[in-house]
Amino acid sequence: MAETYDVVIAGAGHNALILGCYLAKAGVKTLIVERSDRAGGSVATRELTGPGFKQDVCSVSHSLIMGNPLIRNDELQLLSKYGLQYNHPERISALLFDDGTVLEFWSDLERTAASIAKISPKDADNYRRFVDTVDKTLDMLVMGMFSVPPDPGTQAMMMNASPEGQELMRLQAISAWDLICEWIEHPKIRIALARYASETMMDPFDNGTGFGFYLILPYMYKFGLGIAVGGSGALADALVRCFEDHGGTIRLNAQVERILLEGQTAHGLVLDDGEVIRADKAVVAGLHVAQVFPHMVEGAELPPGFLHRIDVLKYAALQPMTVHLALKEPAHFTVGQGIDDFYWVETGHADVDEFAQGFQDLKRGIPRDDFAIYVQQFRADATRVPEGMAQLHIYAFVPLDLKDGGRAKWDEIGEEWANRFIANLRKIAPNVTPDNILGMHFMTPLDITRYNTSLVNGDIQHLGFYSWQLGGNRPVPGWGQYRMPIERLYLTAGSTHPGGGVTGGPGRNAAQVLFEDLGLDFDSVTG
């Protein structure tokens, strides 16, 4: 006899775990099936460089989930009962320009503006006005992130009904660079803000990227950076404790082969060894939409054009490569004054044309060693390293598909590029010498796709944050409300609104839809 549950979920990323927790808390018999040996997906922490050095495999900060009612209101008691803690560093980032100029971003708006004023007093005021303008719509936008999105037509009508909405529609169409230039005059400040815009692995000069930049910094001032104590994986650990405490079951080291279909209705999961797990009420794919369709639902009758829309999804322009270092002593940055304590440090470009050309090179498959961020996670959370020691995480922008050799070439050149990024770091932090490095671990973009197969084409957001792939258009128009075109099949994770990264939005929003379809009261489990 096949095992039977009310709801079965394929994949144990953080969104699937969040959805499972709400269901289990409501008394729904729920099973989560995961191919890996641990739950959490990209929300994971490992001792990659040696005992006592806790490094985040993928996600490093949880700023977006800070605005989610899941955390703001502690709806699942992750903070009050299940051990989750967050720190919010004051010193967020320091950007070092080629000419020695330093621009500091703080969690405090005024201290950030004071740093901007050293380069351009006028732009310090412009920046304040920009943040104040976004603040006026921020509560509405945050509510929209953590709610089921309307269909695109309805959303367009709603937005067109007010000047504020019309402006948001315009911002969705333009590039992040264009938006920045509307507010800021000095090239260095523009470049610094565009670096923030590119954190979603998007070219800020591409049209359709403006909305992503609009939110990121004002959101951070309001809710904080969100550094999980003990590592990013602490969120997954707390969710697992919550889920199991409410009676949920997790199966690890179990690969889902396909969705069990009977007629045109989802009835469970079939594992790669042939085992069948049945679901009486619903099946959820906590996976990338392109993993599910068509490969996991062969024989299903899908709406005309649906698979074509999956085939033409646009992925992010850039992909990440990571290098983790265990250090005897912290990196000492000799360029700039007093920036050693900042959570992350990066080098910038003083010339706009060079900056823009860098993105063009990356999109054409040409790797560069001058687009990297140096993340010092221990600065926000000392529990991640042995006492007196340090760590550093190099987060670089690279192309997955190389112009010379394609993505397979990374297996040959990965170590070479890891060492190039370390050599560049040494130019501004000379004490990161071989004697200071206790351990090194790197992951090319190809390694990252192997680690988490839901990061299709190396896209850490699942789908590029372009305007036509946001809201009710995510993953595709007509199917943006978590219900899929197969009866009783639902989708969560980064392919759905509000997207990838650690937002928790897809999990919580999908839970609201399932509760409605199962005749349950969502408010009863959020108090």
pLDDT tens digits along 498-524 = 999 999 999 999 999 999 999 999 999
pLDDT class for 77, splitting at 50, 70, 90?
Answer: very high
pLDDT class for 420, splitting at 50, 70, 90?
Answer: very high
Q: What are the backbone dihedrals phi and psi of residue 331, each rounded to the nearest 5 degrees, phi first?
A: -65, 135
Question: Per DSSP, which regions of 252-403 are E strands?
Answer: 256-262, 265-271, 276-285, 319-327, 344-347, 372-375, 390-398
Cβ–Cβ < 8 Å for 268, 276: yes
More confident of the two residues 351 and 517 = 517
**CA nearest neighbour of 391 among 401, 382, 403:** 382
Could you tell me the CA-to-CA distances from 160 to 105, 118, 141, 328 in Å, in that order? 34, 40, 15, 57
pLDDT class for 1, splitting at 50, 70, 90?
Answer: low
**CA nearest neighbour of 460 among 25, 27, 59:** 59
pLDDT tens digits along 159-200 = 888 888 898 889 889 999 999 999 999 999 999 999 999 988
Task: Please give the structure tokens belonging to residue 511.
Answer: 């839970």
Terminus-to-terminus CA distance in the chain, angstroms? 38
State yes or no: pLDDT of 2 exceeds 80.
no
Question: What does the mean pLDDT of the chain come to?
Answer: 95
Cβ–Cβ < 8 Å for 486, 9: no
Q: Tell me the average pLDDT across 104-112.
A: 97
CA 439 to chain centre: 26
Query: 400: alpha, beta or left, given left = phi > 0 and alpha = psi -120 to 50?
Result: alpha
Q: Does residue 147 sit in helix, strand or coil?
A: coil
pLDDT at 158: 86
**CA nearest neighbour of 444 among 499, 394, 493, 403:** 394
pLDDT tens digits along 215-247 = 999 999 999 999 999 999 999 999 999 999 999
Cross-sheet strand order for the sheet of 102-106: 102-106, 91-96, 344-347, 372-375, 390-398, 319-327, 437-443
